[in-house]
Amino acid sequence: MLDLKRQYEPLQKELLDAVQHVLETQQFILGEQVAVFEKAAAAHLDVKHAIGCSSGTDALWLALAAAGIGPGDAVVTTPFSFFASVSAILRAGARPVLADIDPVTFNLAPDAVQAVLEQPEGAGVKALLPVHLYGQCADWTAFSQLAAPRGLKLIEDAAQAWGAEWNGRKAGGLGDAAAFSFYPTKNLSAAGDAGMVTTNNAEIAERSRMLRQHGMRRRYHHDEVGWNTRLDGFQGAILQVKLKYIAGWNEARRSLANRYHSLFHAAGVAEAGPYPVHGIVLPSEVSGARHVWHQYVIRCARRDELREFLASRNIGSEIYYPVPLHTQTALKSLGYVQGDFPESERAAREVLALPIFPELREDEQQAVVQGIVEFLA
Ligand SMILES: Cc1ncc(COP(=O)(O)O)c(C=O)c1O
């Protein structure tokens, strides 16, 4: 599914030098290497401020808390995402409100959000938290139009979307604040847990820096109860190296996605969708989006059988995500039940992520496609 060693090998010398530099300077927490990475990251995304932290999960919490979301507020997000999209809202002390997804992009559907905002459960909503799932931006034009007249904050869950764009603007600078993850499987990845908040708002940036260090502006003077969620020097140094390559890696992912498209179409197994019948439905890049293909996710009605068939041929695949968040045991108290979000529930039954990473070879892609064609036959 993913071979990280293929990324490491050509970068080995640069990465070891970077790690050695941290050891020599002994700046392990924040420090010079994190500051340099934050500056380079902000320039790369064309945003004013970038604040490194311990994980994407913490970045989501920091972004919400720094934007002033807390107890008494509600935040609308998607049930078809990683758990942190919802748990970070709870950790900020706010109430998550869910709305269903679009069956083509798997992203939060603007019309579903609008419906929620117009119902009683929409009272108290202070922010929208769309997720740029699989590396494709949520419909930011529509979300901006929903947020502006209501004075809602817009927070991006950009954990899977480093380098993705919406109408020529990069994810990370679309909303009031954004959260990135550098978990090792992400398209821009650290050698451990790491994350980042980005924003063009000086106040949110300042509050994020304060909250990531126990609410301190001055050493041992705590203005608020923050948390310890600092980025460490090793991760800052490693991410600086990888940042130089991410544009090329994302281009490689786009080429790989195009090749999957061509191979599946040539094999005659691609169906129009959005729902699969006998074959598979391919993912698509929608108008306005520049997809970075963090994942290449097909739909198949017999998904579990297909996955087993591929595994028997040593072909990796993954399910992101098999259990929609509104049916998770830990989130029962939100009051949702099975049947509340049919698109998310159907997606959870049908999606299958295929191998896609910059170093994936053509013969390996052909084997994936061949395996699926044989299964369908
Ligand atoms: C959409 C989404 N949000 C949030 C996160 C949380 O990031 P992390 O694992 O770095 O805490 C992830 C990654 O796991 C993610 O995919």
Q: What is the pLDDT of residues 45-64, one digit of tens each?
A: 999 999 999 999 999 999 99
Ligand 1 center–CA 84 separation, angstroms: 6
77 lines ligand 1 (CB under 6 A): no
331 lines ligand 1 (CB under 6 A): no
196 lines ligand 1 (CB under 6 A): no
In percent, how much of the chain has pLDDT > 70? 100
Q: State the pLDDT confidence band at 307, using cuts at 50, 70 and 90.
A: very high
Measure the CA–CA gap between 207 and 78, rounded to whole angstroms.
26
The ligand 1 atom at the shortest distance from the C-alpha of residue 160 is: 16
Residue with tokens 């301190």: 216
The ligand 1 atom at the shortest distance from the C-alpha of residue 60 is: 4
Q: State the pLDDT confidence band at 93, using cuts at 50, 70 and 90.
A: very high
Measure the CA–CA gap between 249 and 149, rounded to whole angstroms.
38
pTM of the model: 0.98
Per-residue burial over 34-62, b if 16 or more Cβ lie within 10 Å, else e, is beebbebbbebbebebbbbbbbbbbbbbb
Express each pLDDT in 198-208 by its tens digit.
Answer: 999 999 999 99
Express each pLDDT in 169-188 by its tens digit.
Answer: 999 999 999 999 999 999 99
Ligand 1 center–CA 120 separation, angstroms: 30
The pLDDT, as a whole number, for residue 80 is 98
The pLDDT, as a whole number, for residue 21 is 98
Q: What is the mean pLDDT of residues 70-80?
A: 98
The pLDDT, as a whole number, for residue 152 is 98
The pLDDT, as a whole number, for residue 268 is 97
Express each pLDDT in 8-37 by its tens digit.
Answer: 999 999 999 999 999 999 999 999 999 999
CA distances from 170 to 59, 79, 161 (A): 18, 24, 9
Express each pLDDT in 247-281 by its tens digit.
Answer: 999 999 999 999 999 999 999 999 999 999 999 99
183 lines ligand 1 (CB under 6 A): yes
Q: State the pLDDT confidence band at 6, using cuts at 50, 70 and 90.
A: very high
The pLDDT, as a whole number, for residue 27 is 97
Express each pLDDT in 313-362 by its tens digit.
Answer: 999 999 999 999 999 999 999 999 999 999 999 999 999 999 999 999 99
Long-range contacts of 275-281 (CB under 8 A, 24+ apart): 275/103, 275/299, 275/301, 275/346, 275/350, 276/300, 276/301, 276/350, 277/301, 278/376, 279/376, 280/372, 280/376
Nearest CA to ligand 1 atom 10: 56
Nearest CA to ligand 1 atom 7: 56
159 lines ligand 1 (CB under 6 A): yes
Q: What is the DSSP letter of 318?
A: B
Q: What is the mean pLDDT of residues 137-162?
A: 98
The pLDDT, as a whole number, for residue 178 is 99
The ligand 1 atom at the shortest distance from the C-alpha of residue 132 is: 1
Q: State the pLDDT confidence band at 294, using cuts at 50, 70 and 90.
A: very high
The pLDDT, as a whole number, for residue 56 is 98
Measure the CA–CA gap between 195 and 58, rounded to whole angstroms.
7
For a ligand 1 pocket test, name from 2, 54, 55, 57 the mutation site with the most ligand atoms within 8 angstroms of its C-beta. 57
Q: State the pLDDT confidence band at 116, using cuts at 50, 70 and 90.
A: very high
250 exposure class (CB count in 10 Å sphere: 0-12, 13-18, 19+): buried
The total of other beta-carbon atoms located within 10 Å of residue 251's CB is: 13
136 lines ligand 1 (CB under 6 A): no
Ligand 1 center–CA 118 separation, angstroms: 29
DSSP-assigned letters across all residues of 140-194: HHHHHHHHHHHT-EEEEE-TT-TT-EETTEETTSSSSEEEEE--TTSSS--SS--
For a ligand 1 pocket test, name from 137, 160, 294, 351 the mutation site with the most ligand atoms within 8 angstroms of its C-beta. 160
219 exposure class (CB count in 10 Å sphere: 0-12, 13-18, 19+): exposed
Ligand 1 center–CA 106 separation, angstroms: 16
In percent, how much of the chain has pLDDT > 90? 100
Radius of gyration for the chain, computed over Cα atoms and rounded to the nearest angstrom: 21
Ligand 1 center–CA 91 separation, angstroms: 15
Measure the CA–CA gap between 199 and 306, rounded to whole angstroms.
42
Calculate the dihedral angle through the C-alpha atoms of 152, 101, 179, 217, rounding to the nearest 10 degrees. 40
The pLDDT, as a whole number, for residue 289 is 98
156 lines ligand 1 (CB under 6 A): no
The pLDDT, as a whole number, for residue 305 is 98
Identify the CA nearest to 235 among candidates 58, 3, 375: 58
The pLDDT, as a whole number, for residue 58 is 98
Which residues sit opposite 218 in a β-bridge? Answer: 221
Count of residues making up the chain? 377
Identify the CA nearest to 173 among candidates 291, 45, 271: 45
160 lines ligand 1 (CB under 6 A): yes
Mean pLDDT of the chain: 98
Identify the CA nearest to 264 among candidates 290, 297, 233: 297
